[in-house]
């Protein structure tokens, strides 16, 4: 059995006097697909930084194969040291790596490579960071929230790319569907200790519940054992009590174990402050349109949203989802058409701009909006500390400045603020960002039971499936179409997922008037070979020659008439290698022929 590529054992780390990791372990072998899961604040990102060699543990050991290449994707990558995205991605390539991969990956992710790093959006920075990590095809790829800031087309592209990648992968993600599709092993970090399940994330939650149930039973047994020992100490025969010093010492040990047992982190308690019911018709839009410059964001959309509907809005980044939500809620008027809002509407809004609050503002003040120490929920005044506990904030965090909160804590804070307002219409723009899986489960249950109406913008496919009664999808050029059901239902009806937006590449200015644009199939619209196509054209001939040489060698081995009887394993191995080489050669020849035909047609 080959040694692991990367291994952590008995990792311990303390922050501010509180143990974060006490006995954490991680073992990564070639080809692993490992999901690291745990509550927000449990130390997942810290453990990955220790694995990547960026943070040193207080104790424990880290081993990495000297020849293994390890790449780590940060949650918030910093590209400021590089002038362009291409320069940043190329900096991650090693001496023997294929230089074409940098441009190829950037192109597939919708970037040109010429973007200045100082002006990138969060999504563009994450795309460039993904290309930087994936380009060298490392032995171990460590991904910390790789789907953050990505739209649905990019997430689905990332899944397909990672499935083909030969690297061992360790990943943290709040995207349940992403973990289910990629993971084959699950490591649960809980109260500073790791537990390993040799199955993918789809099996994790049932296993976790069994572990916690068994732990609760063990604690109950320990409690009863302490009670029995205390009874013996009080009422046993006096002479025996004095002689059995060891039994008395065991009682002290049992008490210590019971006191020091760290219970599982509590669950978020989510409820919305209800308002009176709205009218049956919540929003009715007739033929609304909105244009920015020459581009249509919304073009002649008619939609009716009724009380109790849970509408999901999906599309690529830049499709106009947030603009559409502002129009449907009356914040932004349409250029044409009409929008009529229903009666008795009370709206609570959670938007993506979670940095709008003053970083110096104390946590409690942000929750009460500066109105004393109480929050009004469903007509009842609750002390802010009690409301904080519902969202897993400790009482001592009451005066904590918002600027030092983690991403998950900021997400819970903004959710708590939004849900404290009396509402019968919830407008949630990317509510799942930075929330852990348990909190997502409770939010989903709350939205499912909510008697009012929900308008939801999200890139989380599983969350859309669990919550939405219909999905409104951008079809491009300002067209939006509504489909019944969740995201998976939409894909079945539409025959495809959400398409990526076309990236406009810089063009030389020309005095001539542009020719009229006609719609053509995607293959006919291409004016030149992509970087990947050019690379394949350059490298496929040598690849075909190498495969042909391999086939010739394997034919010579299999021509030995006594090989089967003498060494059956060698015969089977050579036969399998021959089948694979012939298949690879056939695929390479087909690809080369396809590209040659394309090249000739483009040149013509």
Q: Three-class SS string for 53-115?
A: CCCCCCEEEEEECCCCCEEEECCCCCCCCCCEHHHHHHCCCCCCCCCHHHHHHHHHCCCCCCC
Q: Is residue 62 part of a domain?
A: no
Q: What is the pLDDT of residue 354?
A: 52
Tokens of 135: 């380009």
Q: What is the pLDDT of residue 351?
A: 64
- Residues 172-181: pLDDT tens digits? 998 999 999 9
> Are 333 and 442 contained in the same domain?
yes
**Is residue 98's pLDDT more than 90?**
no
Q: Is residue 302 part of a domain?
A: yes
First to last CA, the chain: 56
> Are 536 and 437 contained in the same domain?
no
> Are 594 and 464 contained in the same domain?
no
- Residues 256-298: pLDDT tens digits? 665 555 555 555 555 555 556 778 899 999 999 998 877 889 9
Residue identified by tokens 């249509």 is 296
Q: Which of 206, 226, 248 is the last residue of a domain?
A: 206
Q: What is the pLDDT of residue 514?
A: 43
> Are 288 and 146 contained in the same domain?
no
Q: Is residue 102 part of a domain?
A: yes
Higher-confidence position of 17 and 64: 64
> Which residues, other chains included, contact 347 with Cβ-Cβ below 8 Å and sequence gap of 6+?
329, 423, 425, 426, 427
Round to whole Å and give the CA distance between 567 and 134: 40
Q: What is the CATH number of the domain that holds 73?
A: 3.40.50.300
Q: Is residue 385 part of a domain?
A: no
Q: What is the pLDDT of residue 528?
A: 64
Contact 130, 73 (CB under 8 A): yes
Q: Is residue 105 part of a domain?
A: yes
Tokens of 12: 């311990």
Round to whole Å and give the CA distance between 114 and 128: 11
Q: Is residue 574 part of a domain?
A: yes
Lowest mean pLDDT among 14-18, 143-147, 168-172, 181-185: 14-18
> Are 201 and 221 contained in the same domain?
no
- Residues 31-48: pLDDT tens digits? 999 999 988 778 899 999
Q: Which of 470, 494, 518 is the last residue of a domain?
A: 494
Round to whole Å and give the CA distance between 154 and 162: 12
CA dihedral 172, 175, 176, 180 (to 10 degrees): -70
Cα separations (Å) of 464 from 313, 459, 600?
A: 9, 8, 45
Q: Is residue 378 part of a domain?
A: no
Over residues 50-61, the mean pLDDT reads 94
Over residues 151-160, the mean pLDDT reads 91
> Are 255 and 332 contained in the same domain?
no
Contact 316, 502 (CB under 8 A): no
- Residues 514-558: pLDDT tens digits? 444 344 333 344 456 676 777 777 888 888 888 888 888 888 888
Contact 457, 429 (CB under 8 A): yes
Domain count, the chain: 4
Note down the domain range covering 122: 31-52+68-206
> Are 200 and 220 contained in the same domain?
no
- Residues 116-128: pLDDT tens digits? 998 888 888 999 9
Higher-confidence position of 428 and 17: 428
The model's confidence at residue 442, banded by pLDDT at 50, 70 and 90, is: confident
> Are 422 and 319 contained in the same domain?
yes
Round to whole Å and give the CA distance between 533 and 523: 13
Mean pLDDT taken over the chain: 82
- Residues 308-357: pLDDT tens digits? 999 999 988 888 898 999 999 998 999 999 999 988 888 888 765 554 67
Give the gyration radius of the chain's Cα atoms.
29
Task: State the CB neighbour count (10 A cutoff) for residue 54.
Answer: 12
Q: Is residue 161 part of a domain?
A: yes
* Percent residues over pLDDT 70 in the chain: 82
**Is residue 497's pLDDT more than 90?**
no
Q: What is the CATH number of the domain that holds 581?
A: 1.10.287.380
Lowest mean pLDDT among 13-17, 67-71, 365-369, 482-486: 13-17
> Are 419 and 315 contained in the same domain?
yes
> Are 191 and 311 contained in the same domain?
no
> Are 344 and 235 contained in the same domain?
no
> Are 287 and 421 contained in the same domain?
yes
Q: What is the pLDDT of residue 273?
A: 54
Backbone dihedral region for residue 62 (phi beyond 0: left; psi -120 to 50: alpha; all else: beta): beta
Which helix (H) or strand (E) is 268 found in, with range?
none
Q: Which of 174, 206, 238 is the last residue of a domain?
A: 206
Round to whole Å and give the CA distance between 139 and 349: 44
């Amino acid at each position: 059995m080959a040694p692991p590529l990367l291994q952590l054992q008995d990792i311990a780390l303390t922050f501010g006097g509180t143990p974060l990791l006490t006995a954490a372990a991680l073992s990564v072998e070639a080809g692993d697909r490992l999901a690291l899961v745990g509550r927000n604040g449990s130390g997942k990102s810290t453990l990955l930084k220790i694995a990547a060699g960026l943070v040193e543990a207080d104790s424990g050991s880290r081993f990495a194969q000297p020849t293994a290449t390890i790449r780590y994707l940060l949650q918030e990558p910093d590209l400021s040291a590089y002038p362009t995205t291409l320069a940043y991605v190329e900096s991650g390539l090693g001496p023997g790596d294929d230089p074409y991969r940098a441009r190829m990956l950037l192109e597939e992710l919708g970037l040109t490579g010429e973007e200045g790093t100082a002006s990138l959006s969060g999504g563009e920075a994450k795309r460039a960071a993904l290309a930087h990590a994936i380009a060298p095809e490392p032995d171990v790829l460590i991904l910390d929230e790789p789907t953050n800031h990505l739209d649905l087309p990019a997430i689905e592209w990332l899944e397909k790319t990672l499935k083909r990648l030969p690297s061992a992968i360790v990943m943290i993600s709040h995207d349940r569907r992403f973990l289910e599709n990629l993971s084959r092993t699950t490591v649960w970090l809980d109260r500073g200790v790791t537990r390993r399940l040799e199955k993918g994330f789809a099996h994790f939650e049932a296993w976790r519940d069994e572990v916690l149930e068994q732990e609760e039973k063990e604690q109950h047994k320990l409690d009863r054992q302490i009670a029995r020992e205390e009874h013996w100490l009080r009422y046993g025969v006096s002479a025996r009590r004095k002689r059995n010093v060891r039994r008395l010492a065991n009682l002290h040990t049992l008490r210590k174990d019971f006191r020091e047992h760290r219970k599982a982190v509590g669950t978020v308690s989510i409820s919305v402050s209800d308002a009176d019911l709205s009218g049956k018709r919540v929003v009715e839009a007739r033929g609304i349109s909105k244009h920015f410059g020459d581009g249509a964001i919304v073009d002649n959309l008619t939609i009716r949203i009724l009380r109790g509907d849970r509408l999901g809005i999906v599309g690529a980044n830049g499709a106009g989802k947030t603009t559409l939500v502002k129009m449907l809620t009356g914040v932004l008027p349409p250029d044409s058409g009409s929008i009529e809002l229903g009666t008795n509407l009370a709206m609570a809004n959670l938007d993506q701009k979670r940095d709008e609050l003053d970083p110096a503002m104390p946590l409690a003040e942000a929750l009460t909006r500066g109105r004393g120490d109480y929050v009004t929920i469903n007509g009842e005044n609750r002390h802010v500390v009690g409301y904080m506990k519902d969202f897993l904030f400790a009482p001592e965090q009451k005066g904590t400045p918002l600027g030092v909160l983690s991403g998950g804590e900021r997400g819970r804070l903004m959710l708590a603020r939004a849900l404290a307002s009396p509402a019968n219409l919830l407008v949630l723009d990317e509510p799942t960002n930075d929330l852990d899986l348990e909190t997502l489960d409770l939010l989903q249950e709350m939205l499912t039971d909510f008697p009012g109406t929900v308008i939801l913008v999200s890139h989380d496919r599983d969350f859309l499936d669990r919550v939405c009664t219909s999905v409104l999808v951008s079809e491009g050029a300002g067209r939006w179409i509504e489909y019944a059901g969740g995201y998976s239902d939409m894909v079945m009806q539409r025959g495809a997922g959400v398409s990526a937006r076309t990236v406009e590449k810089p063009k030389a200015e020309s005095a001539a008037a542009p020719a009229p644009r006609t719609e053509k199939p995607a293959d006919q619209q291409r004016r030149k070979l992509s970087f990947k196509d050019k690379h394949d054209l350059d490298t496929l001939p040598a690849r075909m020659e190498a495969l042909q040489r391999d086939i010739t060698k394997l034919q010579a081995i299999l021509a030995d008439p006594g090989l089967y009887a003498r060494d059956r394993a060698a015969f089977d191995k050579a036969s399998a290698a021959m089948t694979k080489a012939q298949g690879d050669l056939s695929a390479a020849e087909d690809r080369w022929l396809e590209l040659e035909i394309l090249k000739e047609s483009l040149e013509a």
